[in-house]
């Protein structure tokens, strides 16, 4: 399949804008991949690893935009390149004749010199330059939200040390979401305001918990992302602890919730110490940590799933008892119906996730049932996905190996559409799980785009004599640009089983896998009644 590369000298676009262009050009006939990256050494290395580093790109400087298109024909490439150039050259819309692009201040210092009152700088530049921009923001007394990734760990440590001295926040690097005083940053959902403040080292995990809180009738005071590396030993939970302190001092926040993959031991201890000093009821989800081995502060509730994190936070805010969910909450009627329709060959469930936290939660829930699970983001080294189809799988399609050359799966559903088609052809697949993440920055109609793929997958399996349960859940709210109810209805119309949340979807898939295993292991009535062979 032909590939072509071009360079636009000295043209910077932030990563979100480039993902949008990539997503739109994929709609051009015959286009397989469209990659737009700044010409940094790290981006060139990623292109080389993907086999897309053409000779023409070697001269690209860090300030240059690299454009790579892979398509079915030279004609398709030409059409895609014209579409990309048109989108890149499109002038930004202005609301009045007096406003021009030149009116935008070229630096933070000039913006503040004009009397701007902003207190947060949102940074989305190549990782090599993000640290310098964040440093400027901190020196100007501003909090920094760093959407950029590929920022060196040493720079993150230095920035967060400075922020601690200045009593500021550095959210990120690679911070996907935040809501501050109702203002969304990055990928965020439209949730009601309320008394629950959240801190998260997990982007989709933070989104899922805040959306479940909204669905349960409570609201969010602030949702502060930290970036996933914040809970590393080297970083020391600097932003997480500072965010807890800010929420403790915030009169609008009555309950504090923490959502994270397991932090380093020393970081976990620091976080719990800050929660203890906060003096407010709190909920902690260290996803995959052994809660029984931790000493929790008196007002802290430890939970094990995203669902329970939201339920516990709402319970504390409303004064209700906190009730933990369990496998007993799974609908046995659905499990029996779907399991009885499976063939003996259908053994494994596969989660096709756009959020890494969803993949981790599924692994934990399935492993708790005694199921062997593999993943490209394994909870332990023994579960690394080696391409074998000999176990249950939870795949994070937001990982680098799937997003190079494509937008993130929250924006571009094509990667998971291809994966779903492959699952339908696999006689060992017993069920598929899909997440659909709504909100600012996400695909404008993800369920509408996935619907035909779900129908086709189920039809392909049916033609091969198999039933294929597709379990889906939607992370979003009714107030999102893509309304929750409309997205759920589109999934149901396509034949999907729509679960209420990520935890319910993973538990249902696990129950189907467990029941299918029990059916295979149970002797048939014929085998039970078969007489012993006569002695010779």
pLDDT for res 280: 97
Q: Residue 331: CA atoms inside 13 Å, Cβ hemisphere, count?
A: 10
Give the integer Cα–Cα distance in Å for 235 and 523: 55
Which pLDDT belongs to residue 96? 39
Tell me how crowded residue 9 is: count the other CB atoms within 10 A of its CB: 11
**What is the DSSP annotation of 365-384?**
HHHHTT--EEBSS-SSGGGB
Provide the CB-side half-sphere exposure for 299 (13 A, CA): 18
Q: What integer pLDDT is reported at residue 534 of this predicted model? A: 39
Asked, as a colleague might, if the bond just before 173 is cis with ω within 30 of 0, I would say yes
Find where tokens 């499109």 sit.
90
Identify the DSSP state of 497: E
CA–CA separation, 341 vs 513, rounded Å? 13
Phi, psi of 3 (to 5 degrees): -130, 140
- Cα angle vertex 348, ends 456, 328, to 5°? 105
Chain centroid to CA 101: how far?
A: 33
CA distance 101 to 82: 23
DSSP state letters, 238-250: HHHHHHHHHHHH-
Instruction: Write down the pTM of the prediction.
Output: 0.84
Dihedral sign of CA atoms 83, 87, 89, 93 in order: positive
**Cα–Cα distance for residue pair 332/511, rounded to 1 Å:** 9
Instruction: Report d(CA 380, CA 289) in Å as an integer.
Output: 12
404, two tokens: 């190079």
The residue ranges of the chain whose pLDDT is under 70 are 15-16, 91-104, 115-116, 291-294, 386-388, 404-405, 523-536
Pull the structure tokens for residue 224.
Answer: 């502060």
CA angle at 420 for the pair 414 and 421, rounded to the nearest 5°: 95
Q: Check if the beta carbon of residue 179 is closer than 8 Å to that of residue 429.
A: no
The answer to whether the beta carbons of residues 11 and 39 sit under 8 Å apart is no
The answer to whether 156 touches 184, Cβ cutoff 8 Å, is: no
| Residue pLDDT, tens place only, 21-33 | 887 888 888 888 8
Query: How many other β-carbons are positioned within 10 Å of the β-carbon of residue 298?
Result: 6
Pairing state of beta strands 373-374 and 392-396?
parallel
Structure tokens at 374: 């593999």
pLDDT for the residue numbered 291: 64
Q: What pLDDT is attached to residue 42?
A: 76
């Amino acid at each position: 399949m032909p590939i072509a590369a071009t360079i636009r000298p000295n043209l910077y676009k932030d990563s979100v804008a480039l993902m949008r262009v990539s997503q739109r050009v994929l709609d051009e006939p015959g286009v397989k991949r469209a990659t737009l990256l700044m010409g940094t050494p790290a981006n060139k290395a990623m292109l080389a690893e993907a086999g897309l580093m053409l000779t023409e790109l070697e001269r690209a400087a860090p300030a240059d935009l690299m454009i790579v298109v892979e398509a079915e024909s030279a004609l398709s490439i030409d059409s895609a390149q014209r579409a990309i150039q048109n989108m890149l050259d499109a002038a930004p819309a202005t609301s009045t004749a007096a406003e021009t692009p030149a009116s935008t201040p070229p630096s933070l210092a000039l913006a503040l010199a004009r009397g701007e009152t902003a207190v947060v700088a949102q940074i989305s530049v190549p990782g090599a330059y993000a640290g310098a921009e964040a440093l400027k923001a901190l020196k100007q007394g501003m909090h920094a939200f760093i959407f950029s990734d590929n920022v060196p760990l040493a720079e993150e440590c230095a920035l967060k040390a400075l922020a601690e001295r200045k009593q500021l926040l550095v959210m990120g690097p690679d911070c996907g979401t935040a809501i501050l005083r109702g203002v969304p940053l990055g990928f965020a959902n439209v949730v009601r305001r309320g008394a629950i403040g959240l801190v998260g080292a997990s982007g989709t995990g933070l989104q899922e918990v805040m959306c479940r809180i909204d669905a349960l009738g409570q609201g969010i005071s602030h949702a502060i992302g930290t970036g996933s590396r914040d809970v590393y030993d080297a970083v020391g939970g600097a932003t997480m602890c500072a965010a807890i302190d800010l929420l403790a001092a915030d009169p609008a926040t009555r309950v504090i919730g923490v959502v994270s993959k397991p932090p380093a031991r020393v970081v976990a201890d620091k976080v719990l110490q800050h929660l203890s000093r906060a003096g407010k009821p709190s909920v902690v989800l260290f996803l995959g940590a052994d809660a029984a081995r931790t000493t929790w502060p008196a007002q802290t509730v430890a939970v094990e799933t995203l669902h329970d994190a939201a339920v516990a936070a709402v319970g504390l805010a409303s004064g209700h008892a906190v009730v933990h969910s369990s496998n007993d909450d799974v609908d046995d009627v659905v499990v029996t119906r779907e399991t009885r329709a499976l063939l003996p060959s259908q053994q494994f469930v596969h989660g096709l996730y756009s959020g890494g936290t969803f993949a981790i939660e599924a692994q934990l829930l399935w492993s708790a049932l005694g199921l062997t699970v593999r993943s490209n983001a394994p909870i332990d080294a023994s579960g690394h996905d080696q391409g074998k189809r000999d176990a249950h799988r939870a795949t994070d399609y937001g990982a680098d190996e799937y997003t190079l050359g494509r937008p993130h799966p929250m924006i571009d559903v094509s990667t998971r559409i291809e994966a779903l088609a492959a699952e339908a052809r696999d006689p060992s697949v017993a069920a598929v799980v899909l997440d659909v993440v709504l909100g600012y920055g996400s695909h404008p109609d993800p369920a509408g785009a996935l619907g035909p793929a779900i129908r086709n997958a189920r039809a392909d399996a049916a033609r091969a004599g198999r039933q294929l349960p597709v379990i889906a859940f939607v992370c979003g709210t009714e107030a999102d640009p893509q309304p929750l109810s409309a997205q759920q209805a589109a999934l149901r119309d396509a034949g999907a089983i729509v679960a209420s949340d990520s935890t319910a979807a993973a538990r249902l898939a696990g129950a189907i896998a467990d029941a299918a295993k029990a059916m295979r292991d149970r002797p048939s009535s014929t085998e039970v009644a078969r007489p012993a062979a006569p002695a010779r």
